[in-house]
Structure 1
Amino acid sequence: MNNTAARQDAVAASQDLAVREKKELTGQEKTVPGRFFVPSTDAYETEDGLTLVMEMPGVVRENLDVSLEDGVLTVEGRLDFSKYEGLEPVYTEYNVGHYARSFSLSDKVDQDNIAAKIEDGVLTLTLPKAQAARPRRIAVS
């Protein structure tokens, strides 16, 4: 077995599947009734910007608000609880509730060109880097 395969096996062994508990949002007052949870989020950086991927199961585009005010990006997703009426769970691993999360953005993000897309309960936010923050090549003469 070569070194690359050995490293991949070690990484796979250290990433056992486990149930993650939802974190309830605390300390913020909301006007929408119901519990709010912090959605699990992954962040990726490229030369062009940042990509945030947020898990928001059950949230559809019509019930999603993404806003930017004073350099703070706020995401709020609401569930339609009517889909759960009359259901008696046999077993549950997570609580049903709305989602909310905020991010403070630096001036290195081009705040005028942020894009959002939700598909199958996964919200993808694209935050392009401001032109001044992007790496550039300097011509040598």
Structure 2
Amino acid sequence: MILPQHLRNSTPWLSDFGRLFDTAFQRVSQGPRGLRIHEQDKQWTLEADFPGTAKEALELEVRDGALHLGIKSDDGASNAYRLPLGKHVDPSGINAKLELGVLTVTLPKAKADTETHRIEIN
């Protein structure tokens, strides 16, 4: 599993997020090398190792409620990864950078719906 056991059980959402990572990456392939996940107050940060990979060889986009990462190698081979985002990530604020062979993707947390809606019982 990608997330260590103590992180998977720390919060219900983080546990679900870890399961999403595991199942999404297992379905498509084994997932990016050296994938690391860090949680901060307002965002999650994903880091994956791509040593020797040029920025132009990576394609990252959000579509159909998922984060899609495509990697093209010099020999014409390609890999694709898909990560379902769920409702806890604000897709409009996602950003990424590739520096020293490490792809860093920032996933901002969506603002919680704090409004209470009273439901009348008939």
Normalising by structure 2, report the TM-score.
Answer: 0.61
Q: Which residue of structure 1 lines up, in the alignment, with residue 37 of structure 2?
A: 43
1:130: Cα distance to partner? 1.0
Gaps in structure 1 of 5+ consecutive residues: 1-24, 29-35, 83-96, 134-141
Deviations 1:4-50 (A, max 9, x none): xxxxxxxxxxxxxxxxxxxxx9976xxxxxxx873121111111110
State the identity %.
34
Aligned-CA RMSD value: 2.6
Determine the C-alpha separation between the residues in 2 that align with 1:53 and 1:71.
Answer: 20
Amino acid at match of 1:72: A
Amino acid at match of 2:53: V
Determine the C-alpha separation between the residues in 2 that align with 1:107 and 1:61.
Answer: 28
Please show how residues 46-85 of structure 1 align to structure 2 within 5 Å.
46-81=40-75
Q: Which has the higher contact order (CA 8 A, sep 6+)?
A: 1
Deviations 1:55-93 (A, max 9, x none): 1122111111001111110111222249xxxxxxxxxxx
Determine the C-alpha separation between the residues in 1 that align with 2:36 and 2:75.
Answer: 26
Aligned residues: 88
Change (3 A) 1:122 1:65: same
1:112 corresponds, among 92, 103, 111, to 92
Determine the C-alpha separation between the residues in 2 that align with 1:26 and 1:103.
Answer: 10
Q: Which residue of structure 1 lines up, in the alignment, with residue 15 of structure 2?
A: none
Change (3 A) 1:37 1:79: farther
Higher helix share: 2
Determine the C-alpha separation between the residues in 2 that align with 1:75 and 1:130.
Answer: 21
Gaps in structure 2 of 5+ consecutive residues: 1-24, 114-122
The structure having more radius of gyration, on CA atoms, is 1
Please show how residues 96-135 of structure 1 align to structure 2 within 5 Å.
98-132=78-112
Normalising by structure 1, report the TM-score.
Answer: 0.54
Change (3 A) 1:27 1:70: closer
